[in-house]
Amino acid sequence: MSKVKANIIANFAGKGWTALMSLAFVPLYIKFLGIEAYGLIGFFVTLQALFGLLDMGLSATLNRELARTSGLAGQENRMRDLVRTLEIIYWLIAIIICVSVILLAPIIAQYWIKAENLSVETVQQSVILLGIAIAFQWPLSFYSGGLQGLQKQVLYNILYSGLATLRGVGAVLVLWLVSSTIEAYFQWQVLVSLLSTATIAFALWKSLPECDRASRFDWKILHSIWRFAAGMTAITAVTVILTQLDKVLLSTLLPLESYGYYMLASVVAGALYYLIGPIRTALFPKFSQLVAQDDVENLAHLYHQTCQLMSVVILPMAMILVMFSYEIMVLWTVDITIAENTHWLISLLVIGTTINGLMNLPYGLQIAYGWTRLSIYTNTVAAVLLAPMLFIMVHYYNAIGAAVVWVVLNTGYIIIGVQLMHRRLLKEEKWRWYIEDVFRPLMAALLVAVTGRLILPAEGGPFIMAIYLTAVLLLAYLLAILVTPMVRARFLIVISRAKAIYN
C-alpha cells in the first residue's frame, strides 16, 4: 500500500473517530449544561478559530518545508532547527493569547455576551478558563502540521484519536460525576489541552531525523521562508475572517440561547470537515513533492483522482443532511425544540460548507506551488463584501441571514476562484474538474436525496427512520461512485479483488 493511500485511510479512521467523539456527546453537554451554556462552548470554538489569525502561516509553512526536505539527504540539522525556530515563536504567541483573554474577560462577560440565565461572574470565569485552554490547545496545530508534513499521519491519527476520546469522555464524566457547570467543563478543557499539545509535540520531535548537534533558533531559516509564510499569513487572516465573522457578530447580536442554536447547527455542518480533512491532509505533502519534481503529468492525474474522491466522499452525506436536517436532528438530540430551531440553519450551512470542501484540493494545489496571491486577492475581496452583507442579512433575517451569506460566499469561490486558478495551473484541466470531478457525483447524490425526501414514509418510529436514512445514504454513495470515472474504476478493481479472494 502506498504512503498516500495509507495516510488517507489513517486520516479517515482518525477523523471518523474524532467526529464520533465530538458529535456523540453534544446532546449530553446540552442536557447537563443547557443550550445557553452550550453557547459559551460555541464561543470557545469561535475564539480558537479567531486566534488562527496569529498563526502567521507557520503551521502550513512547517508542513510544506518538512514535506519538501524530508526526502532529501543532508537536511537533518535544518529540519530540526526549523521546528525549534517556529516552536519558540508559537509559544510566545500562546502566552500573548492567554494574557489577552484573561485581561479582556470582564469586558467580554459584561458587554459582549448576552446571557440571560448565567451570571456575569459565571461568564467571566468561563472566559478566563477558555483563554487558558486556548493557549494550551493553540500550538497543537503547529505540531500536527509538522507530523503531517513528515507523512507520519498514521501515528498522528492514533494519538489524536486517543486524545479526542479522553477529551469527550472525560468532559461527560466531569459533568456527570463532579459538577454539571460550565466552569467544570472548561477546567477539564484546560487539562486535556495541555496534555494533547505535549503529546503531539513529543511525537513530532521523536519523528524528526537525528542530527549531530542540538537544535537551535535560526534567523536565516526565518529569512528563507518569510515570503511563503507571509502569503500564508494573509490567506489565514482573511480565511478566518470569512469563516468566523458570522459567529463573532451573532455572539453579540443574538441572545446567548439563540447563539447556542446557531453554533449547534455550525457543529453539524462542520462535521463535513471530518470527511474533507483526511483527503486534504494526506494529499498536500504529495502535491508539494510532485511540484518540487516538476512532474506535471502525475500531478494532474493525482489532482483529478483525489478531487473525484473528495466529491464522492462528501456530496452524498451533504445532500442527505440538507434534505433530512429536521429528521436527523430529532434522531440525534431527541428534542423537537432543538430540531425546529436548527434544521433550516443546518441545511444552509451544509450547502456552504460542502462548496468550501470542494475547493480544498484546488486551494492545496495553489499552496503546493507556493502561489498564495490568488487566494489573498479573492479572499480579500470576499472579506470586504462579507461584513456589510452580514450586517444587512442578520438585521433583517437573524441567524438565517448569516447562513445565506455563507452559501453566497462559497458559491463565488467555485464559480470564480477555479476559473482563475486554471488559467495558470493545469490549464487544460478546468472543465474536467467541473464536469467529471464535481457535477456528475453532485447530480447523482442530489437525485437520490430528493427522491428519498419525496417518498419519505409518513409514519414510523426512530428505528425505522434511522434505517431509511441509512439506506438512502448508501444508495447515494453507490450512484455517486458509479457516475464518477476514476473512483468507479478503483471501486471495480476492489470488487474484482474481493471476488478473487472469495473464489
Distance CA 324, CA 501 (A): 38
Return the residue matching grid coordinates 448508501: 474
Decide if pLDDT at 333 tops 70.
yes
Crossing angle between the packed helical segments 26-33 and 256-270, to the nearest 10 degrees: 170
End-to-end CA distance of the chain: 23
Closest C-alpha to 89, from 204, 229, 240: 229
At 192, the amino acid letter reads V
Ranges 40-49, 233-242, 306-315, 426-435: which has the least confidence: 233-242
E strand or H helix at 247: helix 219-253
Return the residue matching grid coordinates 456530496: 315
Decide if pLDDT at 451 tops 70.
yes
Distance CA 116, CA 132 (A): 25
Decide if pLDDT at 139 tops 70.
yes
Higher pLDDT, 36 or 500: 36
Decide if pLDDT at 344 tops 60.
yes
pLDDT tens column, 42-82: 888 777 777 766 666 677 777 777 777 666 666 677 778 88
CA angle 65, 67, 71 (to 5 degrees): 110
What burial letters (b/e) apply to 319-342, b meaning 16+ CB within 10 Å?
Answer: bbbbbbbbbbbbebbebeebbebb
Taking phi over 0 as left and psi of -120 to 50 as alpha, with beta for the rest, 461 belongs to: beta
**pLDDT in the model for residue 4:** 61
Strands (DSSP E) along 398-474, which ranges? none
Q: How far is CA 449 from CA 272, 358, 445, 474, in A?
A: 17, 19, 6, 11
**pLDDT in the model for residue 457:** 82
Distance CA 485, CA 298 (A): 17
Q: What average pLDDT score do residues 175-190 get?
A: 93
Closest C-alpha to 244, from 391, 41, 43: 43
Return the residue matching grid coordinates 459559551: 40
Residue 206: all three cell numbers together: 521523536
CB-based burial label for 162 (10 Å; 0-12, 13-18, 19+): middle
Q: Grade residue 482 by pLDDT with cuts at 50, 70 and 90.
A: very high
Is the CB of residue 286 less than 8 Å from the CB of residue 412?
A: no
**pLDDT in the model for residue 232:** 64
Q: Grade residue 480 by pLDDT with cuts at 50, 70 and 90.
A: very high
pLDDT tens column, 112-122: 888 888 888 99
CA angle 369, 141, 6 (to 5 degrees): 65
**pLDDT in the model for residue 14:** 74
What burial letters (b/e) apply to 369-384, b meaning 16+ CB within 10 Å?
Answer: bebbebbbebbbebbe
**pLDDT in the model for residue 347:** 96
Is the CB of residue 115 less than 8 Å from the CB of residue 126?
A: no
Residue 167: all three cell numbers together: 477529551
**pLDDT in the model for residue 446:** 96
Q: Radius of gyration (Cα) for the chain, nearest Å?
A: 23
